[in-house]
Structure 1
Amino acid sequence: MKGPLFYAKILLFGEYGIIKDSKGLAIPYNSYQGALKKSKKFTTKTKESNKNLLRFYTYLASLDTDLVHFNLDEFKKDIEQGMYFDSSIPQGYGVGSSGALVASIYDKYAFEKITVLENLTRDKLLKLKGVFSLMESFFHGKSSGLDPLNSYLSIPILINSKDNLEATGIPSQKEGKGAVFLLDSEIVGETEPMVSIFMNKMKNEGFRKMIDEDFAKCTDACIDDFLHGNMKSLFGNVKNLSKIVLDNFKPMIPQRFHTIWQKGIESNDYYLKLCGSGGGGYILGFTKDFNKTKTILKDYRLELVYRF
């Protein structure tokens, strides 16, 4: 048995903002993927994954909901026969490792599942998001459901608000100098503590005002520019966003990256922003000249996401 591949995802824009109902843009990231497999011989990694699937099975079996029903007998039988999730997606890196797992379980075991081949109306997207939110809460305590949705559909998704999602197209890549890239912090991040810090900060009126007025508006402008291919305007807005994040989200940025974050803003060679909840994992970067940025940041591991 080998299940279909489900890819990683990158939330290009909208981290934290989507918690407060502003816009977001998520895209699939095909460099990493995962699939359900079976094996009679366990390694340490596959054994741990198999145990994790059993815990997930127990969680799904305990759900009291009419939103979704699973073929739990088959799921349990497959686990007993050595099923595991074979994944290259790094965990704790903000690229949706649990999302791909959730998508693969829904795909294989959900009754009356919504498929990618259907006409994906807003209602269907919202229903899927609700199902995935319920499922992924097992991993994060609270989940928006967006990571599994992106992984399952493998298409860019524009989040206009909590109740308004749409599949979208992004400009095709060009062989230009510019790029969106990932910078590896080499630190595993945890979502829950970062979200707790954010929710505590939201109790402060000044912080709330900054989110509503500066952060959300800047994020919306970045999304608009990116979708319409307005690269000149995009870089101005991404620079502003990079400054806002550095000034207001310092706990989410690992200490040793504060200096290179600031250097990017001052030199205009590149701009950094959070990828997911922060605290480690990947940092997202934007540059007009990827080769130059690779030289400047030669001490760090960079991965290309998108060229323009």
Structure 2
Amino acid sequence: MKGPLFYSKILLFGEYGIIKDSKGLSIPYNFFKGALKRNKNNSSVAKESNSALAGFAEYLEELTEKEPTLVSFDLERLKKDVADGMYFDSSIPQGYGVGSSGALVAAIYDKYAEDKITVLENLTREKLLKLKAIFGKMESFFHGKSSGLDPLNSYLSLPILINSKDNIESTSIPSQNTEGKGAVFLLDSGSTGETAPMVQIFMDQMKNEGFRKMIKDQFVKHTDACVEDFVNGNVKSLFGNLKQLSHVVLDNFKPMIPVKFHDLWKKGIETNDYYLKLCGSGGGGYFLGFTEDFEKAKEALKDYKLEVVYNF
């Protein structure tokens, strides 16, 4: 048995902001992927995944009992498959902000949900919001609290535009210009980040009136502008807004940026060779970089592993 492939995702814009109703833009990233497999793979990774799936199956049973109108699963088949050694075979790195648990949630929903909303039907806003709600409840098993966006992106394999909490739509983004010099890239921090503690730090900071004001007046404002610019292909304006956003993040999200990256972050803003931002909750994993000249950025960041996501 091998299930269909589900891809990783990248939240280009909206990390933390979407908790406070900023816009967001999430795109599938086909470089990493995962699929459910069932064979007698005795590797430690397969065993660990199988054991996590057993816990997840129990959690889904409780979820079905608690919220029968939201979602129900063929639990008997799921449990049998788990008992037969099913695991999630994935190249998506965990703790890197590219949606490893999201792809797993999408795969389980796709295979075991009853009356599932399929990718082929007309995806109205209501259906998208219902899927997002289901996925949020499912993924909270892994993170404590989830918006449901990562699994939604993985499940649909389409760019998703978040206008607000209750207004999401699949969207198209400008085609990549493979000849272009500009790029969006991932920078590997070399360490993993834990989502739950980072979100907790953010929530604690939100109790502070000054921080709340900064989120509303600066962070959300620049995030929204970046989303508009990216979707509409306004590259010049995009980089102006990215510079501001990178600055706001460096000044106000220091706990989410490992100390050794503070100077690197600042250097990008000062030289305009690249701008860095969080990819997911931060703390480690990947950071997102944006540059109008990838060769220049590559030279400036030659000590780090970079992976191009999108070309301008």
TM-score by length of 1: 0.99
Alignment-derived partner of residue 197 in structure 1: 201
Matches within 5 A, 1:126-275: 126-174=129-177, 175-275=179-279
Aligned to 1:119: 122
% identity of equivalent residues: 74
SS at match of 1:180: strand
Q: Following the alignment from structure 1 to structure 2, what is the Cα–Cα distance between the partners of residues 130 and 296?
A: 42
Answer yes or no: is 1:55 the counterpart of 2:38. Answer: no
Spell out structure 1 runs of 4+ moving beyond 3 A.
none
Shift in Å, 1:83:
0.5
TM superposition shift of 1:172: 0.3
Q: Does 1:24 find its partner at 2:27?
A: no
Aligned to 1:94: 97
Total equivalences in the alignment: 308
Matched, 1:104 2:107: yes
| Separation of aligned partners in 2, 1:41 and 1:244 | 47
The runs of 5 or more residues in structure 2 that have no matched partner are none
Q: Quick one: distance in 2 between partners of 1:74 and 1:240? A: 51
* Separation of aligned partners in 2, 1:227 and 1:143: 25
Query: Residue 71 of structure 2 corresponds to which residue in structure 1?
Result: 68
TM-score, normalised via structure 2 length: 0.98
Instruction: Check if 1:6 corresponds to 2:6.
Output: yes
> Which letter maps to 1:110?
A
Shift of 1:40: 1.5
Corresponding residue for residue 15 of structure 2 = 15
- CA deviations on 1:71-130 (whole Å, 9 max, x unpaired) are 000001111111100000000000000000000000000001001111110000000000
* Equivalent residue number for residue 294 of structure 2: 290
Check if 1:300 corresponds to 2:285. no
Amino acid in structure 2 at the alignment position of 1:86: D
Which secondary structure does the structure 1 equivalent of 2:89 belong to?
strand
1:284 aligned counterpart, secondary structure: strand
SS of corresponding position for 2:223: helix
> Whole-Å Cα distance in 2 between the matches of residues 162 and 149 of structure 1?
14
